[in-house]
Structure 1
Amino acid sequence: MSATLTGVGVGPGDPELLTLKAARLLGTADVVFVPVLDRPDGATGPGRAEATVRGHVAPDRLRRLPFALDDRGGVTARREAAWDAAAAAVVAAFDGGARAVAFATIGDPNVYSTFGYLAHGVRGRRPDVAVRTVPGITAMQELASRAGVPLCEGREPLTLLPATAGLAPVADALAGDGTVVVYKGWRRHPDLVRELRRQGRHGDALLGRALGLPDEWIGPVDDHADDLPYLSTLLVPARRDRRGGKL
């Protein structure tokens, strides 16, 4: 059997939102890697992905990969060093005899995921490794479901942006005719709230934090601004005046 690296989307945090395929691959992989925050003190406590999959993976098959998830300013030396170290660890697992390696990522491995950087590094070191992905439920889907708000209807566009891209693209999207979702609000949350107020979209907006976890919270965008986590989701539904109005 050829060596295979699979990025497995495990959803926003609720273990019950894993797909059957994700659960099967996690349960049969030789090694399952999970991302954790690379802390200056070297500590690597469990992250959200690990907490989500631990019911499907035996502890002896679970390994943590530190990433510089809190770095700002694009591709930093710390980020690149973490990507390289993570790729080397995966290659070492293959060199040690593993044939099926999985990387559990929150949400979907093809939507703002660390998996793409890891896969790039592994391909460069071991071109013979087959790289695959298993889609997962995204935070915007979970927030829309919990709030009872359709993400898009009829001809409405759906715009997904990271707050790290700056305020200008978010402002342009809010001025449009569809639903806007913003990930990674974190330190930029106050600026986002001001822009929502400026465009008259504040009353429609919803904020989701810790989706699927015991401390989950869904509500108006003003609350929890001071302790907003990096993995937060802002949902601004499209304006709809009647049923089927956008068909």
Structure 2
Amino acid sequence: MTKPQSGRLIGASLGPGDPGLITRHVWELLQRTDAHWAYPVRRKDAESHALQIALRAGLTLPEAHSPLIFPMTHDADILAGYWLRAAETVLTRLHAGQDVLFLVEGDASTYSTFGHLARTVRALDESIVIETIPGVPSFNAVAARVAMPLADTDETVAIIPASYGITMIERLLNDFDTLVLLKVKPLLDDILDLLERRALSANAAFVEKAGTPQERIERDVLQLRGQKVNYLSLLLVRNPDRQRGEMIRGCRKKTSESTEETL
């Protein structure tokens, strides 16, 4: 008996929350009746944010589907065990010749659980074809939602999880025109203190659960001090002082060069 050709593992990016941001490519994939859906959850029986985006789009969860547990922990040994179990679950379907659509909130290439799953699957079977379908990242959706440009002309942008710490955040504020801080929940008050000290709070915007019915936008970010916020939250910070400083330094450099040419 001929062994069936292995299915493909496909990272299906859904955007951050608004079903209207699902790309046409992913929408067409989700219409298939022969593909298996897999999606991340933080613990058994927990709600999947990625799955909810698809359901809000009017799609129906297939009878055969696989919630894959990716727990909220930084313990590498614990995570490795869950990644392995998720990969083995997916491989069962792939080896049977079925394509697996892994539903991803935001973009599958940007701080996504799909990367962990794909690497583990490839380590177990390097012959598996893995495809990534791009989507709208949360920070692009948020920038549009609050009418705050991420970058203009030759400006620079840094995108980091807030867990890098206050020292790193302050350093990046000096080096970049726009700073995108993801997963701000654990350090929110410390970040707000920094923004207040640097007089940057008026140039910041906070968005929680972007594009969902529970979306929350706060432009007066200092009002968030002491509040509990959702894990799916971020801060956009613009640094106009850096922009003015770069312009001044650029003008001085041109003046200096012109003077030297005259001499």
Same fold flag (TM > 0.5): yes
Tell me how large the CA RMSD over aligned residues is: 2.2
* Aligned 1:31-180 pairs, distance under 5 A: 31-38=36-43, 43-54=44-55, 55-68=58-71, 70-71=72-73, 74-95=74-95, 97-180=96-179
Counterparts of 2:223 and 2:117, CA distance in 1? 35
CA offset at residue 49 of structure 1?
0.2
CA offset at residue 114 of structure 1?
0.7
Counterparts of 1:57 and 1:34, CA distance in 2? 14
Counterparts of 1:217 and 1:162, CA distance in 2? 19
Q: Is 1:9–1:104's contact at 8 Å kept on the other side of the alignment? A: yes
- Give the aligned residue type for 2:59: H
Counterparts of 2:238 and 2:68, CA distance in 1? 36
Q: Deviations over 1:109-166 (max 9, x none)?
A: 1111111110011011121111110111011111111111111001100110101222
More helix by share: 2
| Higher Cα radius of gyration | 2
Q: Deviations over 1:5-58 (max 9, x none)?
A: 1111111111111000011122226111110112xxxx4222110101123353
Q: Which moved more, 1:196-205 or 1:220-229?
A: 220-229
Partner of 2:200: 201
Q: Secondary structure at the match of 1:211?
A: coil
Q: Report how many aligned residue pairs link the two structures.
A: 237
- Give the aligned residue type for 1:93: R
* Aligned 1:196-235 pairs, distance under 5 A: 196-219=195-218, 220-224=220-224, 226-235=227-236
Q: Is 2:39–2:104's contact at 8 Å kept on the other side of the alignment? A: yes
Q: Which moved more, 1:74-83 or 1:140-149?
A: 74-83
Q: Secondary structure at the match of 1:8?
A: strand
- Give the aligned residue type for 2:231: Y
- Give the aligned residue type for 2:80: E
Q: Secondary structure at the match of 2:175?
A: coil
TM-score (norm 1): 0.88
Partner of 2:27: 23
CA offset at residue 177 of structure 1?
4.4
Counterparts of 1:223 and 1:196, CA distance in 2? 12
- Give the aligned residue type for 1:31: H
Counterparts of 2:239 and 2:196, CA distance in 1? 15
CA offset at residue 198 of structure 1?
2.0
Q: Is 2:9–2:94's contact at 8 Å kept on the other side of the alignment? A: no
Q: Is 1:13–1:211's contact at 8 Å kept on the other side of the alignment? A: yes
Give unmatched runs, 5+ long, in structure 1. Answer: none
CA offset at residue 226 of structure 1?
2.3
Q: Is 2:36–2:62's contact at 8 Å kept on the other side of the alignment? A: no
CA offset at residue 232 of structure 1?
0.6
Provide closer, same or farther for how the CA distance between residues 57 and 124 of structure 1 changes in structure 2, counting only shifts above 3 A: farther
Give unmatched runs, 5+ long, in structure 2. Answer: 251-263
CA offset at residue 99 of structure 1?
2.6
